With several copies, the nearest count.
Chain A
Amino acid sequence: MLTASQILRWIEQYAKLISEQKDYLTQLDADIGDADHGANLDRGFQAVLTKKDELAGKDIGTIFKTVAMTLISKVGGASGPLYGTFFLQASVAAAHKDKLSEADFYEILEKGLAGITSRGKAKVGDKTMVDAFQPAVAAFKRNLDEGADFEKSLSDAIDAAERGMLSTIPLIARKGRASYLGERSAGHQDPGATSSVLLLKAARTAFS
């Protein structure tokens, strides 16, 4: 079972990773976008961190809702509404909960991903964060169905996300700003897929 304070640690850990990796994310975005993905997410998660104290002791649904609203109002760009929607849908799934089972955590990932795809209309192969998220959620589900423990499920999800992230390199983007590039978008790793991998990696650090 994951506690609310572990969830909070997840968010903090992600904020830390984003801040450490923001130049890298921005560089990826400079190659096929507009050089702001790292700055965007960092602005959002730094704003989330200022609410850390008020979130201590709150239920998980409230934590996700606050993260969602902060990202939506601070990030902008494509990633703001997309990550915002992820956490908004996660907050619905976790409403009033103080603890999450492995199945609950899966539901969060799955509902969050559904939020991203319903907002952004991207499919696997479009060279977006969905290329990392979708195989990760599927891998988690497979493990869950097979009764694997949380650690292994998360680990497999991260591996799948990383493979998905790397799979974006040869792709021609069909969604987001990189799609304007047409064939010139091939040969570059998608920044959003990269930040998605970090989200799962932050979970491993926070939960172990």
Chain B
Amino acid sequence: MKKLINSPADLVTESIAGLGAAFSDLIKVHFDPNFIIRADAPVRDKTAIISGGGSGHEPMHGGFVGRGMLDAACPGAVFSSPTPDQMLEATKAVDGGKGVLYIVKNYTGDILNFEMAADLARSEGIEVEAVMIDDDVAVKDSLYTAGRRGVGTTVLAEKICGAATEAGTSLSDVAELCRKVNASGRSMGMALTSCTVPHAGKPTFELPEDEMEIGVGIHGEPGRERTKLKTADEITKILLDPVLEDLPFKSGDQTLLFVNGMGGTPLLELFVVYRKAHRILTEKGIGVARSLVGPYMTSLEMAGTSITVLKLDDQLTRFWDAPVLTPAFRWGI
């Protein structure tokens, strides 16, 4: 295992310490329990938003804390959900009197831990709502399973909902908005190589030199199928077709196209994927009104990409465009 770390046990704490030192104007980092809050928290009379999840997906979520996006992020150990005590302390630190929205990716661990945190926060008199993101079309949507994973739409929901709370949206309304974003976004990912969890010390899976994993999860969970390596254009189509069919997206729709890097894939390649995705959408009469390209929801050093398409309306577009000032997203301010 080749990593720039001191030890697996200290990795997350040292990394968020670095994040805090680099962006001390925007965020504050709290240790033991670990959480990251915007520098001016709590913001009086603003609904707060907290997200969190395992580490290893940076810049998500710590890089999304700041004006116009998250009020707090709770980083767990690498690929492990954070714990209720972190969430509870973060909740107390950011509640500005208007309640707190938890944006939770649909993984059993995240759901259970946020659930416990919500119980604890409510018992301390803080109003809490939780909205689950489950946009990964690689997973069959079934009532009898844990359902779909939360992936790329999470990033977009955090930006859009963050902007809404800056504009004075109430807790119940921002929760409603978050459910709308989740209902409007679909994603699918693939991997060329595995990631290596520091504690495990070796790759989570082995992919032969001529194979790829389609529908992979952001924790290196195996995907839909393993197939022979294909060209970027073919792969883009393999990812995009089920995404478009699922909602379904239709001619005339306006969308945000998000081509995400899994960590180890260079930007040079991501733009090749973006180019093809943009063409496919355009050929179907689906408009690409906004774009996001880059490694925003990563899986350590995994090589691969995921594509998220979000159906836009005026409200979502306005909140997407609204000013934001976080380590990873910065515009209009």
Contacts and interface: CB of A to CB of B under 8 A. Distances in A.
The reply, when asked whether chain A contacts chain B directly with Cβ atoms under 8 A, is: yes
Interface of A: 26, 30, 32-36, 39-40, 43, 72-82, 119-120, 173-177, 179-182, 184
B99 interface: no
B80 interface: yes
A184 B224 CA distance: 8
Contacts of A175: 108, 145-146
Contact of A32 (B107, B113, B149, B222): B222
Interface stretch (B19-27, B166-174, B197-205, B279-287): B197-205
Given A30-B220, A77-B76, A174-B145, 5 more contacts: A26-B200, A34-B204, A40-B80, A73-B83, A76-B82
A7 B88 CA distance: 30
A86 B184 CA distance: 38
A114 B220 CA distance: 31
For the residues of A in contact with B, the DSSP-based class is helix
A39 B77 contact: yes
Given A40-B80, A72-B84, A73-B84, A34 B221 contact: yes
B200 A76 contact: no
Q: Among the interface residues A35, A81, A181, A184, which one has the most CB atoms of the partner chain B within 10 A?
A: A35
Contacts of B144: 174
Nearest to B116: A81
A193 B31 CA distance: 33
Contacts, number: 120
Contacts of A119: 112, 115
Contact of B108 (A26, A36, A120): A120
A34 B195 CA distance: 10
B146 A74 contact: no
A78 B109 contact: yes
B122 interface: no
A169 B220 CA distance: 21
A180 B86 CA distance: 27
Q: Among the interface residues B77, B107, B109, which one has the most CB atoms of the partner chain A within 10 A?
A: B109
Contacts of B116: 72, 81
B199 A39 contact: yes
A76 B54 contact: yes
Interface string B271-304: 0000000000000000000000000000000000
Contact of B109 (A39, A73, A80, A179): A80
Q: Among the interface residues A81, A82, A119, which one has the most CB atoms of the partner chain B within 10 A?
A: A81
Interface residues of B, number: 40
B199 A180 contact: no
A120 B146 CA distance: 10
A182 B85 contact: no
Contacts of B113: 76, 80-81
B255 interface: no
B33 interface: yes
B139 interface: yes
Contacts of B84: 72-73, 81
B52 to A, nearest CB: 10
Contacts of B204: 30, 34-35
B219 A34 contact: yes
Q: Among the interface residues A43, A176, A179, A180, which one has the most CB atoms of the partner chain B within 10 A?
A: A180
B146 A35 contact: no
Contacts of A75: 80, 83
Closest 9 CB pairs of A and B: A34-B219, A81-B112, A77-B109, A39-B199, A76-B80, A78-B109, A179-B145, A78-B108, A73-B85
Interface in B112-142: 112-113, 115-116, 136, 138-140
Nearest to B145: A179
Contact of A180 (B78, B115, B217): B217
